[in-house]
């Protein structure tokens, strides 16, 4: 299930949700990233490219962006030949629809209908084709709805947008399709907005904020928690770099870590920071003494090297000596 590439409707919330400090480093940069993320979603090009067609045009070749790739999604049926409605069906639709712009809407839609027709027998074939038509209606409607909800840095507006999309889905899809296609996405969006509310609560100190976010994360389904990890670490690296460039205080970096990855991971990162600092101090001391040996007058080069080798063996374990030697070669 694709939890991390969602409708542009929630793009603002997704990025706002990762801004963990009361004063984020660069709101303009965050909005720029939001626009970039929105542009890569399946629905970003819908207004121009998803006009429903009669589908008489037969695509000759796969779009360039799809060549050599594995189809994302599967068509499954039960023992009675009925279509199994899962997120795999939506993934298959989105896989082909991602080529919008490389070929005409008629070609894209015909390609999908041909896939459903050639790979499924009745009754699954008719069921899949009907769901695809509903999905096209949904994509057109959500693109229109998006025009009524510009991206705003406002929590109430973001909640209103999410609720409007959920109402739209409920009006177009059966409960079974709604659950299969969008349940995971809606859980994730709710997590993002609740997390944003915690980060913006002025009555919480950093420790309370971190604890509340950790509890919120632990209540997510296990699969969702696993999918969050790469995104959290990516955000942590980006935000930490921004803070370092601003010469932020250690307390700000600690608050960032607490909010993003929780107390346990923060403690591990701080221990790693200390290990790195200790190592750097040892290397700096060795470098100073090494330079002092090299600057001694009247000492033969081979004697200087012998003294440096002895110093290296005294200060560092064998595996550390290899690391020092590697650094000196750079």
Mean pLDDT in residue range 229-245: 80
Own/partner pairs, 155-158, CB within 8 angstroms, 24+ separation: 155/193, 155/196, 155/197, 155/200, 158/10, 158/12, 158/13, 158/16, 158/193, 158/196
Higher pLDDT, 37 or 199: 199
Predicted local confidence at residue 265, as pLDDT: 78
What would the two tokens of residue 252 be?
Answer: 């700000």
Backbone angles phi, psi at 77, to 5 degrees: -130, 160
Own/partner pairs, 291-298, CB within 8 angstroms, 24+ separation: none
Predicted local confidence at residue 6, as pLDDT: 42
Predicted local confidence at residue 212, as pLDDT: 86
Q: What percent of the chain has pLDDT over 70?
A: 79
Determine if residue 173 is left, alpha or beta; phi over 0 gives left, psi from -120 to 50 gives alpha, anything else beta: beta
- Asked whether 52 and 38 are in contact (CB, 8 A), the reply is no
Euclidean distance between CA atoms 67 and 59, whole angstroms: 13
CA distances from 150 to 12, 52, 158, 160, 161 (A): 9, 25, 10, 11, 9
Q: Tell me what the pLDDT averaged over the chain comes to.
A: 78
Please state at what angle helix 222-245 crosses helix 250-294, rounded to 10 degrees: 60
- Tokens 């696993």 belong to 226
Q: Which of 101-105, 154-158, 228-232, 283-287 has the lowest mean pLDDT?
A: 228-232
Euclidean distance between CA atoms 105 and 136, whole angstroms: 11
Predicted local confidence at residue 164, as pLDDT: 92
Residue 277, Cβ neighbours under 10 Å: how many? 10
Predicted local confidence at residue 8, as pLDDT: 40
Query: 174-213 as b/e, with b when 16 or more CB fall inside 10 Å?
Result: eeebbbbbbebbbebbbbbbbbbebbeeeeeebeebbbbb
pLDDT tens for residues 99-129? 878 888 888 888 899 989 999 999 999 999 9
- Asked whether 129 and 117 are in contact (CB, 8 A), the reply is yes
pLDDT band at 179 (very low <50, low <70, confident <90, very high): very high
Residue 129, Cβ neighbours under 10 Å: how many? 16
Alpha helices in the chain (DSSP H): 11-18, 27-39, 46-49, 87-97, 105-119, 124-148, 155-172, 175-199, 206-218, 222-245, 250-294, 301-315, 318-329
Predicted local confidence at residue 165, as pLDDT: 94
pLDDT band at 168 (very low <50, low <70, confident <90, very high): very high
Predicted local confidence at residue 60, as pLDDT: 59
Higher pLDDT, 258 or 30: 258
Mean pLDDT in residue range 84-102: 89
Q: Where are the domains of the chain?
A: 8-200
Mean pLDDT in residue range 138-164: 85
Predicted local confidence at residue 329, as pLDDT: 60
Q: Which of 12-21, 86-95, 141-150, 298-307 has the lowest mean pLDDT?
A: 12-21
Backbone angles phi, psi at 187, to 5 degrees: -60, -45
pLDDT band at 18 (very low <50, low <70, confident <90, very high): very low
Residue 291 has pLDDT above 60, yes or no: yes
pLDDT band at 269 (very low <50, low <70, confident <90, very high): confident
Residue 24 has pLDDT above 50, yes or no: no
Q: What percent of the chain has pLDDT over 90?
A: 27
């Amino acid at each position: 299930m694709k939890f991390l590439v969602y409708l542009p409707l929630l793009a603002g919330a997704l990025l706002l949700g990762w801004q963990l400090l009361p004063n984020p480093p660069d709101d303009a940069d965050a909005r720029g990233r939001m626009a970039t993320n929105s542009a890569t979603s399946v629905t970003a090009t819908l207004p121009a490219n998803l006009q429903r067609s009669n589908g008489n045009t037969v695509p000759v070749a796969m779009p360039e962006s799809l060549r050599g790739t594995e189809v994302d999604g599967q068509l499954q049926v039960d023992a009675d030949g009925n279509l199994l409605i899962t997120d795999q069906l939506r993934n298959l639709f989105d896989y082909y629809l991602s080529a919008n712009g490389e070929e005409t809407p008629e070609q894209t839609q015909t390609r999908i209908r041909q896939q459903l027709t050639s790979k499924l027998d009745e009754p699954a074939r008719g069921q899949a084709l009907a769901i695809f038509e509903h999905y096209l209606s949904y994509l057109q409607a959500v693109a229109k709805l998006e025009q009524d909800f510009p991206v705003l840095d406002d929590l109430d507006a973001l909640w209103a947008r999410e609720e409007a999309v959920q109402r739209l889905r409920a009006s177009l899809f059966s409960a079974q399709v709604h659950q299969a296609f969008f349940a995971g996405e809606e859980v994730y969006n709710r997590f993002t907005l609740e997390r944003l509310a915690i980060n913006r609560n002025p009555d919480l100190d950093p420790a309370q904020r971190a604890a509340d976010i950790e509890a919120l994360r632990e209540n997510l389904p296990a699969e969702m928690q696993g999918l969050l990890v790469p995104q959290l670490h990516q955000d942590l690296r980006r935000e930490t770099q921004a803070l370092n460039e601003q010469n932020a205080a250690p307390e700000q970096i600690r608050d960032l870590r607490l909010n993003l990855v929780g107390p346990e991971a923060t403690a591990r990162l701080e221990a790693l920071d200390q290990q790195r600092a200790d190592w750097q101090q040892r290397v700096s001391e060795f470098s100073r003494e090494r330079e002092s040996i090299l600057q001694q007058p009247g000492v033969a080069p081979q004697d200087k090297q012998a003294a440096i080798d002895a110093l290296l063996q005294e200060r560092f374990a064998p595996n550390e000596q290899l690391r020092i030697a590697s650094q000196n070669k750079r």
